[in-house]
Amino acid sequence: MTNPDRYAVIGHPISHTRSPRIHTAFAQLTGENLTYEAILSPIDGFQQVVADFFADIAAKGLNVTLPFKEQAYALCDVKSLRAKQAGAVNTLMKGKDGRLYGDNTDGVGLVRDMTQNLGWSLAGKRILVVGAGGAVRGVLGVLLAAKPAQLLIANRTHSKAQALADIFQQYGQITALRFEDIAQYSIDVVINGSSASLMGELPPLAADILAADACAYDMAYGKPKLPFLEWATAQQASTSDGLGMLIEQAAESFFIWRGVRVTTADLLAEIRQELQV
């Protein structure tokens, strides 16, 4: 057998990452000959760590996680539309031409989890996204491409939601709202992309904003009880945490690097059991 190709995830911190677990499982499932490691980069040394990694001829691709996704974007020679929309890159690939290619698979991971794994519809629906940080910017372009009837965005700091709406209006209809104005709408799909859940907090969402048969997705995962999903369950919504998004964004990176699509359902169930969430 030839030597394996090398892949890794880079972040700071990195000890919590599930990416080596996921990509090693993908490689086993598909028979791809590769290794995947976790690399801790110093906060001020990201560019050097990337250069050192790709100096190895076996090194083919990197995932990039917090806080380096914007720096990764700046490093790329070629960027996908998804990366440009996100202003951030989570997947780097060294091309045969020696150039560094950057993509962002977070949005497609979210949409694939909602539509394919959970069977939710987005086309023609009124979608509300809560939050306006990097995580939300990473998914808005792909959400608009799913052709919702309307995309609304609300954030604790309203000006940031307005700034994102201004950036994305070239890709589809998107409206920034204050939380107190959401009640005028009947929301079909609500997505929490704020970091409130990670702090055990709930964004200021009223009890009566969801349509019948609404769906609620929290991009956070890893906690058995997310306040946003408890709120949504109390409104009789279908709910999901973001574990499937994590697996699906990884599957899309794997596809970019290897040209092979993996089936994710069994791995998602296994990791859910390991995390007990």
Q: Does residue 156 touch ligand ATR according to CB under 6 A?
A: yes
Choose one: 14-22, 151-159, 206-214, 240-248; the region binding ligand ATR (CB under 6 A).
Answer: 151-159
The residue within the footprint of ligand ATR, chosen from 194, 235, 239, 264 (CB under 6 A), is: 194
Q: Does residue 11 touch ligand ATR according to CB under 6 A?
A: no
**Closest approach of ligand ATR to the CB of residue 220, in Å:** 9
Q: Which residue is nearest to ligand ATR (CB)?
A: 133
**Closest approach of ligand ATR to the CB of residue 157, in Å:** 3
Catalytic, 69? Answer yes
Give the chain's largest Cα–Cα span. 62
Choose one: 16-24, 90-98, 152-160, 168-176; the region binding ligand ATR (CB under 6 A).
Answer: 152-160
- Kindly state the tokens that stand for 92: 């780097």
**Of 41 and 267, CB closest to ligand ATR:** 41
Amino acid at 16: H
The residue within the footprint of ligand ATR, chosen from 166, 201, 213, 270 (CB under 6 A), is: 201
Closest by CA to 18, choosing from 217, 272, 225, 255, is 272
| Dist CA 100 CA 85 (whole Å) | 18
Choose one: 18-26, 117-125, 153-161, 182-190; the region binding ligand ATR (CB under 6 A).
Answer: 153-161
Closest by CA to 246, choosing from 229, 263, 271, 225, is 271
Choose one: 1-9, 183-191, 194-202, 252-260; the region binding ligand ATR (CB under 6 A).
Answer: 194-202
Amino acid at 201: E
Question: Interface residues for ligand ATR in 202-241 (CB under 6 A)?
Answer: 203
**Of 21 and 156, CB closest to ligand ATR:** 156
**Unique residue bearing structure tokens 């994710």:** 264
Q: Does residue 12 touch ligand ATR according to CB under 6 A?
A: no
Closest by CA to 62, choosing from 17, 123, 110, is 17
Catalytic position from the list 60, 69, 79, 94: 69
**Of 30 and 195, CB closest to ligand ATR:** 195
**Closest approach of ligand ATR to the CB of residue 172, in Å:** 20
Q: Which burial class, exposed, middle or buried, applies to 30 when counting CB atoms under 10 A from its CB (0-12, 13-18, 19+)?
A: middle
- Per-residue interface string for the shown chain with ligand ATR, residues 103-142, x marking contact by CB under 6 A: ----------------------------xxxxxx------
Q: Which residues of this protein are in contact with ligand ATR, per CB under 6 A?
A: 131-136, 155-157, 160, 194-196, 199, 201, 203
Q: Which residues are catalytic?
A: 69
